[in-house]
Amino acid sequence: MDPNYVQTLHNLLLQTTSNDTALLKAATAQLNQDYYKNPSCIPALASIVASSPEQSVRQLAAVELRKRVNQNSGNLWTQVSQVEREQMKANLPQLILAEPHNLVRHSAARVIAAIATIEIPANNWDSLLPFLQQTCTSPQVAHREVGIFILFTVLESIVEGFQTHLPGLFELFRGLLVDPESIEVRITTVRALGVIAQYIDSDDKNELKTFQALLPSMIQVIGQSVEAGNETGARQLFDVLETLLILEIPILGKHIPELTHFLLQCGGNRSFESELRVLALNALNWTVQYKKSKVQSHNLAPSILEGLMPITTEDEPEDIDDDAPSRSALRIIDGLATNLPPTQVFPALRALIVRYFTSQDPTHRRGAILALGVCVEGCSEYMTPLMSEVWPIIEAGLVDGDATVRKATCVAVSCLCEWLEDDCAAKHAILVPSIMNLINDPATQRSACTALDALLEILHDTIDQYLQLIMERLAGLLETAPLPVKAVVTGAIGSAAHASKERFLPYFQPTMNHLSHFLSLSGEGEETELRGITMDAIGTFSEAVGKDIFRPYFPDMMKHAFQGCDMGSARLRECSFLFFGVMARVFGEEFAPYLTQVVPPLLASCKQLEQGEDALEISVAEAASAFASGSSPANAINVGDEVDLNGNTSIEIEDVDLDKMMDVNSAIAVEKEIAADTIGTLFAATQTHFLPFVESCTLELIALLPHYYEGIRKSATDSLLEIVRTFYDLSDHEDWVPGANSPTALNNQVQELISHALAPLLDMYESEDNKSVAASLCLGLAETINKVGPGFLQGNLAAICNIAVQILEQKAFCQQDPDQDEDEEAPEDQAEYDSVLISSAGDLVAALASALGSDFSQAFDTFFPLISKYYKKSRSLSDRSAAIGCLAEIIAGMKGAISPHTGPLLELFYRALGDDDHEVLSNAAFATGLLVEFSEVDLSQQYFQLLGALRPLFVVTPEDPAAKLNAKDNAAGAVARLIVRNTSAVPLDQVLPIFIDALPLKNDYLENRPVFRALFHLFRTNGAALHPFIDRLLPAFAYVLDPSIKDQVGDAIRTELIHLLALINQEEPAKVQAAGLAVFLPGA
């Protein structure tokens, strides 16, 4: 090799380390032009790595050497002569052993990995593995450190080439995991095992068993790095652990109890660095999410909660974005509540909350209240009957002597309002005054405004008695409060408008005057947030006061929204998109002129690259995991030791701050989520005016379906199906006829749109790992099938049926657990979120039955056992209710074709009519009535028993919960169906007094249809039986005909009822007049 060539290259590299920008640029240009396209640079760089006296040059040469070896898939390397390649392969490993500087050693090790990627698959480097094994067992600790690091970097690049050597490597790693002198050797060994784990096949039981045997030692090394305060090493090892947790092979399954105990110990040890404790707790959160079947089967939740509660009492940082052990602990409690059956979580947590809340230490009381708040999302159904025990804690917390406890209670109230709406609304007399008092206290003002916001959202008509007080107080705060408080106050005013509707009108103009100057804020951070929340609130005002009142503000507000799109803030773009959707809903086709300005930014948002997409590859698993856990995986290696030609850190996945990148990306992803959602809203609102944009929007939504963020997938799914439904509405179509071979043909363009949209949605489902997205897909498909009919199913019936079957069998991709045997039944006791998915699959089955009608008969044989298994006393309320409700809707769809299945269905409904819960009873009454109505089997012999089962449902008081009142209405509908089907089998003298006392229906107005059918039938066939009840019936008739309330009966019933009134008027005109019904008589 020409020494002058090597020396010139060396000098140019040295020049690039200069602080003189002109020199650096000149050297860079010459290197790129004269050296880096020439294969001769590779041996020259290797020589410089070996001989340069300058550490910075050796380091830079190693970085550039690796790049040249990798260049053009190894093309430059293969142009180097065989002799020189062999020489480098022989010298580099020895050179690294002799290199004194760690950074250079690491960069040179990556050169070996790059060369190995090319040479080992070609069987051209047989000496590498023996050398590494020898080095890893060297008596010199420095050699072992270098050997295992080279082996780790090589494995990262080319595990496949070493798979035949795995038994020997496992044996080697067994020793290195307990290296007596070097924590670095032990840490790098765990990292190497983390790489190998990703290539183990679940069918290879021997490799799995060998790896599992090493796990206790691996966990020990993680503990050692935490104890030593080695943050870099600990981050690397927790990243390995997170990788093991998300792998779809059961590596960790048998060690989950020990692992959770270890992570709790690390996370709870206050002598460890806070950052390291957070890493341990984040890993525990992942364990709960990804190994929930093992956490559940070992009933680990109580012991985990016991370990977490002391951590919840620790201080919280002021900045909401800063992490801390206390926040991590609360995140895990939330994870336990949402991933596990509430029976395993809430009883244990409730006992801890009571214990901690009675403590004299305010930090214990604060921790108890926060734990209560975060568990509500996953335990709301289970908690409902226990709320009488929860409210005393909330009420005491709101007046606690410590401000931090009061603030925490406000947070808990916000959570309760979101998930237990009826219970919280019923407590308004306590909650509203208490929260208003806390708004007066600067220490609790912001938290109290947030709680008030959540409470107002659910108050509905009850807000009337508080509206003036609330608006006066909040208007005052808009003048005096600091910026962050003004933001939550503005949000609360929006919720007040939402709850009060047209009653907000007196406050509309003054509030708009107060808020208008917030729309000109342009600073970052708090100003951006206040401007965005103001847009949201004003959107809510428009829905409250209506388009006529809001119209004068409409053009100016659209200008502000467009400005928000152009200010470079993802948050403001998100708020503008939400505002566009609200304006479209409020103004309908009047919004159409803005579409040419609105749709392009929505599409641009959907198309925008997220940070890193154009610079490096980030796996879907890594990106999605950062969203799922609330904390991203730690930097994989974080060496930061490779500098490129321009003096910049080389962009590799391990060197990128994923935490920071994901913060930026999460803001962009939420913006995309809103953009995708808004597209469907705009089409539904503006109808034919949106048609020019349908194709471009459909293609963009389809492109979003594989996105790593589940919120985007869900919005894209919802909007795609909304586009299909709206396009169908606008097409020339006739009412569809049910049947697998329905004569109802779809418009060709509708059929084409369906084929474009449905195929990628079905593809998405196959790999969908998020239950809420799968549930949303089921609900969207059900709604679309109900609207479009059997034409939607053409060519896709089997695939759509399969979605429902898989979910009901709990074998969908999003329900799979690698630690559960294939033939093992999923546990009956499941998380409340799992029940939501099951319920959505039931809605899909019901829609299929509706579209197929009698042709659903064969499918019924498949679905009946899958659905009926969810009606057991051991199942949750949600499961039981959904199962009976689904079967009722199937009967409504199949009609007479249900007849062969009458016996098993009736037996199931009898059991359901004995249920303890009103929601189940309501569905059971509805289902029973439909079965009697549509089955061709004569059930007259069952009437006495059926009426006896329905009788208790009529015993209600006006103060009873809505579910109980609803059950009464459904029982009335069921009795009506019995009367119409076979009046002679009904003991009218006993039944009519109870039946008519239940009128008018005030909850489930749909049941007015069978009720009035029965009344009309009786008036026609047995008028004498109803004559004694005229005085009670006329007020019920007046109620349903009242023009000042929403229509409850529909045009057909209204017409027939008015005809009946005319007949009654002929015999009892005074009574008709007294009931106020004369105005409805023909000719009145």
Q: What is the pLDDT of residue 645?
A: 38
- CA-closest candidate to residue 1058, choices 1081, 1042, 1034: 1081
**Would you say the C-alpha torsion 895, 898, 903, 904 has a positive or negative sign?**
negative
Any alpha helices (H) in 809-876, and if so which ranges? 832-852, 857-868
Any alpha helices (H) in 687-770, and if so which ranges? 694-704, 710-730, 748-766
The per-residue pLDDT of the chain, averaged, comes to 91
CA distance 245 to 243: 5
Q: What is the pLDDT of residue 772?
A: 95
**Sole residue written with tokens 């979910």:** 807
What average pLDDT does this structure show over 753-760?
96
CA distance 649 to 655: 8
- Judged against a pLDDT cut of 60, whether residue 642 lies above it is answered with no
More confident residue, 663 or 465: 465
- CA-closest candidate to residue 781, choices 832, 870, 851: 851
First vs last Cα of the chain: how many Å apart?
112
pLDDT one-digit tens code per residue, 405-418: 999 999 999 999 99
Lowest mean pLDDT across 436-445, 651-660, 693-702: 651-660
Q: What is the pLDDT of residue 874?
A: 87
Lowest mean pLDDT across 116-120, 835-839, 983-987: 116-120
- Judged against a pLDDT cut of 70, whether residue 661 lies above it is answered with no
- Judged against a pLDDT cut of 70, whether residue 824 lies above it is answered with no
pLDDT one-digit tens code per residue, 154-189: 888 876 667 778 889 999 999 999 999 999 999 999
Q: What is the pLDDT of residue 633?
A: 27
What average pLDDT does this structure show over 1075-1081?
91
- Residue 1042: other Cβ atoms inside 10 A: 13
Q: What is the pLDDT of residue 631?
A: 33
**Sole residue written with tokens 């200069």:** 18
CA distance 764 to 746: 25
pLDDT one-digit tens code per residue, 349-388: 999 999 999 999 999 999 999 999 999 999 999 999 999 9
- The DSSP secondary-structure symbol of 427 reads T
Q: Are 235 and 635 in contact (CB under 8 A)?
A: yes
Q: What is the pLDDT of residue 823?
A: 57
- Residue 462: other Cβ atoms inside 10 A: 17
Q: What is the pLDDT of residue 123?
A: 85
Global pTM value = 0.85
pLDDT band at 611 (very low <50, low <70, confident <90, very high): low
**Would you say the C-alpha torsion 243, 247, 251, 254 has a positive or negative sign?**
positive
Q: What is the pLDDT of residue 321?
A: 75
CA distance 394 to 373: 10
- Judged against a pLDDT cut of 80, whether residue 619 lies above it is answered with no
- Judged against a pLDDT cut of 70, whether residue 844 lies above it is answered with yes
Q: What is the pLDDT of residue 260?
A: 96
The helix (run of H) or strand (run of E) holding residue 672 is helix 658-686
More confident residue, 55 or 253: 55
Q: Which two tokens stand for residue 655?
A: 């060197």
User: φ and ψ at 649, to 5 degrees?
Assistant: -60, 130
Query: At residue 1037, what is the residue type?
Result: F
Q: Are 234 and 222 in contact (CB under 8 A)?
A: yes
Q: Is 484 left (phi over 0), alpha (psi -120 to 50) or beta?
A: alpha
Q: What is the pLDDT of residue 1084?
A: 65
Burial class (CB in 10 A: 0-12, 13-18, 19+), 619: exposed
pLDDT one-digit tens code per residue, 86-125: 999 999 998 988 888 989 988 998 999 899 889 888 888 8
What average pLDDT does this structure show over 867-896?
95
Angle, helix 141-158 to helix 82-98, in steps of 10 degrees:
140
Q: Are 328 and 364 in contact (CB under 8 A)?
A: no
pLDDT band at 625 (very low <50, low <70, confident <90, very high): very low
- Judged against a pLDDT cut of 90, whether residue 693 lies above it is answered with yes
**Sole residue written with tokens 């500098």:** 643
More confident residue, 664 or 436: 436
What average pLDDT does this structure show over 322-342?
95
Q: What is the pLDDT of residue 827?
A: 75
pLDDT band at 890 (very low <50, low <70, confident <90, very high): very high
What average pLDDT does this structure show over 265-270?
95
Lowest mean pLDDT across 422-426, 619-623, 634-638, 834-838: 634-638
Which letter, b or e, does each residue of 978-987 get, where b requires 16 or more Cβ atoms within 10 Å of its Cβ? bbbbeeebbe
**Would you say the C-alpha torsion 823, 824, 827, 831 has a positive or negative sign?**
negative
Contacts 24+ apart (CB under 8 A), 261-269: 261/303, 262/219, 262/222, 262/223, 263/287, 264/303, 264/304, 264/307, 264/308, 265/307, 266/222, 266/223, 266/226, 267/307, 267/311, 267/325, 267/328, 267/329, 268/307, 268/308, 268/310, 268/311, 268/325
CA distance 276 to 324: 10
More confident residue, 843 or 100: 843
**Cα–Cα distances in Å, from 108 out to 59, 117, 143?**
8, 14, 14
Q: What is the pLDDT of residue 159?
A: 64
Q: What is the pLDDT of residue 248?
A: 82
- Judged against a pLDDT cut of 50, whether residue 624 lies above it is answered with no
Query: At residue 891, what is the residue type?
Result: I
What average pLDDT does this structure show over 615-627?
38
% of the chain at pLDDT higher than 70:
94
Angle, helix 902-912 to helix 877-894, in steps of 10 degrees:
150
- Judged against a pLDDT cut of 50, whether residue 639 lies above it is answered with no
- Judged against a pLDDT cut of 50, whether residue 602 lies above it is answered with yes
- Judged against a pLDDT cut of 70, whether residue 630 lies above it is answered with no
Q: What three-state secondary structure class fits 481?
A: coil
What average pLDDT does this structure show over 291-308?
95
pLDDT one-digit tens code per residue, 997-1053: 999 999 999 999 999 999 999 999 999 999 999 999 999 999 999 988 888 899 999
Q: Which two tokens stand for residue 569?
A: 């803030």
Q: What is the pLDDT of residue 620?
A: 36
% of the chain at pLDDT higher than 90:
79
